[in-house]
Structure 1
């Protein structure tokens, strides 16, 4: 018989992933659109910095978030003033961890998609008096919709599977920050293999569906 709160990890994972994937998609789209075609000193360094979470161990990312947003940092104190409580080990900490880890992947996919748009079409729009924002909105983004949808889907999948940074920064608090990956970890540690199998199967099913959607979106039209 399922205990009270059994579905909490699934609910929390879907809530955290939904919010973080929307935040990531908006930030990555805005930044990729702004960076497109721009060259300035420090651009390579800037892009390298925000791509680091893609290659760093999640535990290192989580430690970095603790260092930057912990109660002893000025940024953490400012966020504590905004939220009226420390952000560490809260629901929002799980959202932030998922956002930071998923951002590099989403940004890279969107950036590649925007750069694949024929520049002659964009130049034609500019020659007709369109500004850069209008070019992005009415030319670049509609032509790169496959990459945008792919980026969002992959970002959702990456946020859903986030474990290390979430455990380090948000903890594993039942009904508060315990997402599916952390619930699986605790279930295995405590010997509750049946529960672990159930949650592993759930994540596998959802991830398979998301990757199938990506392949369907990116398939060549007949």
Structure 2
């Protein structure tokens, strides 16, 4: 039976859910936060040590400014309101992605990382302003700048996910079967599950079904 250490999730479908049920994309983003909390709690219950959530991609800057502003206000609300609770629950917060953000958000994210840095029940990685191609190029540039040998070990030293094990599984909700520039290097041997449900409808039961499927998979990693 496979040990599950790291789950990565593309939380797709918030906007479509909001339009369908509330006639507002922003309402879908707000509903998605409830699912985030449920999945964090279930991950702790299953003793999963790393959970990586794709919160905002480098391509998401193409969205309407009003939606982008709402997303970051929602992030600000979540961190501000929940950080003490997360810290009390021994949850570590890690931001992966470019921190080229406005000063207020940057300061808040640094505060969340610093406050929870010694926690060890679960590490929740928020992929924020994240794009895998940019991450890969950035790593290569740093290798060249530091004049060190190009190999997998050195390459991974400069990734945003340094010291984080590769995901065992990737879950993408929203009935879309693509990776969308997410953890392209790290997902090389991950088991991938595409879920039809929109993110706000995804629940602990759906998560548990995927976990059970993963544990039954024969994983060869190139061997027989």
Scaled by the length of structure 1, the TM-score of the pair is 0.22
Please identify which structure carries the higher helix content: 1
More strand by share: 2
- TM-score (structure 2 length as normaliser): 0.22
